[in-house]
């Protein structure tokens, strides 16, 4: 087993020191999104997988998409190329007497509209490869087969006790003289369960392990039943469903729907603010920071910045659907 070392390369402990948990998250409300020509767009926000719906109980750790699902994003690139050819054809038409290729217009728009409606369907029915943390049962499940797995959860998937899951801070050499760090989450016995190894989603080629620490602390904090869910946008619509969190919010007179008044751009600013504090933090010897449990005392919403469904917004969205097949 690797030596336990918080700042170096090795197994990271299940504790939180920085205690800042935030990730920008679009809160979808009824009537707040424009479907345009994507008639099945609502399916993108109505995931049928229970571990994606019940955010108060499960937290998803991506570990690679189903190969079939990944291939389906190719039509977007083809649609973009067709649109480029259409643009060239329009430019050429201004200098040429040749008949305009109307077939290209019909083919391009038909192609993009077909796939813009196909993507929500595939997203709904083609399974993902994910690891998911179960806060309620204190287990970690896998949506794919793990050979020799003996325990299964209520969803019928292979699972392990949370205490058996570890995160190793791994590294590899990138550019000459630059070491890049990655969080490697897996069962503690990697030799027996090599399929459980998941590389946490952090910025690519990160030469600073801060992103790894932040990600792991986020997972550790989510699984801590001695505390309510972190007060962040992701859980705004689910806080009342977690008994510990609901009781905590009532006791602290938490404002209802607090994060719904924050635009996505304002959330990104808060995320950047926290990240700027994380880099100079002493992750090895620094004192444990106090968690922000009353964000309404730290940040004020600017609801006027929330993107409205204006004709400009709708026109831009329709253009994305028609020219690159983006839903």
- pLDDT digits 0-9 by tens, 197-215: 998 877 655 778 898 999 9
pLDDT given for residue 71 in this prediction: 63
How is 90-114 classified by DSSP, letter by letter? HHHHTT--SPP-HHHHHHHHHHHHH
The mean-pLDDT minimum among 2-6, 13-17, 47-51 falls in: 2-6
Residue 286, in any domain of the structure: yes
Better-predicted residue by pLDDT, 236 or 2: 236
Contact 3, 10 (CB under 8 A): yes
The rounded distance, in Å, linking the Cα atoms of 247 and 253 is 10
Domain assignment of residue 226, given as a range: 10-33+55-62+129-306
* Residue 157: pLDDT band with limits 50, 70, 90: very high
CB neighbourhood size of 68 (10 A):
10
pLDDT given for residue 27 in this prediction: 82
Q: List, for residues 113-151, the tens digit of each pLDDT value.
A: 998 888 777 777 777 788 999 999 999 999 989 999 999
Contact 116, 325 (CB under 8 A): yes
Distances (CA, A) of 253 to 48, 71, 248, 326: 33, 48, 9, 41
pLDDT given for residue 136 in this prediction: 96
Strand partners, 132: 60, 141
Residue 100, in any domain of the structure: no
Asked whether the predicted pLDDT for residue 1 surpasses 50, the reply is no
Better-predicted residue by pLDDT, 315 or 220: 220
Average pLDDT of span 38-49: 70
Residue 150, in any domain of the structure: yes
In three state form, how does the secondary structure of 228-253 look? CCCCCHHHCCCHHHCHHHHHHHHHCC
The conformation of residue 127, written as its DSSP 8-state character, comes to P
Residue 240, in any domain of the structure: yes
* Residue 2: pLDDT band with limits 50, 70, 90: very low
* Residue 67: pLDDT band with limits 50, 70, 90: low
Better-predicted residue by pLDDT, 200 or 25: 25
Mean per-residue pLDDT of the chain? 86
Tokens of 50: 């229970």
Asked whether the predicted pLDDT for residue 64 surpasses 80, the reply is no
Residue 220, in any domain of the structure: yes
The mean-pLDDT minimum among 48-52, 114-118, 322-326 falls in: 48-52
* Residue 50: pLDDT band with limits 50, 70, 90: confident
pLDDT given for residue 5 in this prediction: 46
Asked whether the predicted pLDDT for residue 65 surpasses 70, the reply is no
Residue 257, in any domain of the structure: yes
Average pLDDT of span 239-249: 96
pLDDT given for residue 320 in this prediction: 87
Strand partners, 167: 12, 185
Residue 189, in any domain of the structure: yes
Better-predicted residue by pLDDT, 254 or 286: 254
Residue 183, in any domain of the structure: yes
Total count of domains within the chain: 1
The mean-pLDDT minimum among 32-36, 53-57, 85-89 falls in: 32-36
């Amino acid at each position: 087993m690797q030596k336990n070392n918080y700042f170096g390369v090795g197994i990271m402990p299940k504790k939180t020191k920085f205690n800042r948990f935030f990730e920008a998250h679009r809160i979808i409300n009824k009537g707040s999104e424009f479907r345009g020509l994507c008639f099945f767009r609502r399916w993108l926000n109505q995931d049928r997988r229970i571990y994606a719906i019940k955010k108060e109980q499960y937290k998803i750790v991506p570990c690679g998409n189903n190969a079939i699902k990944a291939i389906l994003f190719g039509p977007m690139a083809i649609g973009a190329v067709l649109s480029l050819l259409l643009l060239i054809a329009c430019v050429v038409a201004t200098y040429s007497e040749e008949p305009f290729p109307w077939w290209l217009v019909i083919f391009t728009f038909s192609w993009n509209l077909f796939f813009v409606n196909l993507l929500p369907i595939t997203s709904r029915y083609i399974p993902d490869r994910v690891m998911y943390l179960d806060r309620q049962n204190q287990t970690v499940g896998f949506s794919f087969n793990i050979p020799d797995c003996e325990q299964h959860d209520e969803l019928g998937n292979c699972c392990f006790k949370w205490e058996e899951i570890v995160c190793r801070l791994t590294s590899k050499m990138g550019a000459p003289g630059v070491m890049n760090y990655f969080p490697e989450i897996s069962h503690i016995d990697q030799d027996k369960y090599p399929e459980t190894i998941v590389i946490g989603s952090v910025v690519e080629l990160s030469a600073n392990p801060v992103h790894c620490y932040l990600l792991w602390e986020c997972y550790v904090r989510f699984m801590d039943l001695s505390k309510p869910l972190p007060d962040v946008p992701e859980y705004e619509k689910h806080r009342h469903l977690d008994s510990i969190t609901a009781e905590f919010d009532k006791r602290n007179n938490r404002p209802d729907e607090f994060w719904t008044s924050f635009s996505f751009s304002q959330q990104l600013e808060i995320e950047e603010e926290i990240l700027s504090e994380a880099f100079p933090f002493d992750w090895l010897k620094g004192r444990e920071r106090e968690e922000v449990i009353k964000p309404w005392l730290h940040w004020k919403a600017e609801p006027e910045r929330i993107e409205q469904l204006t004709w400009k917004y709708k026109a831009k969205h329709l253009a994305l659907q028609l020219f690159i097949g983006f839903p």
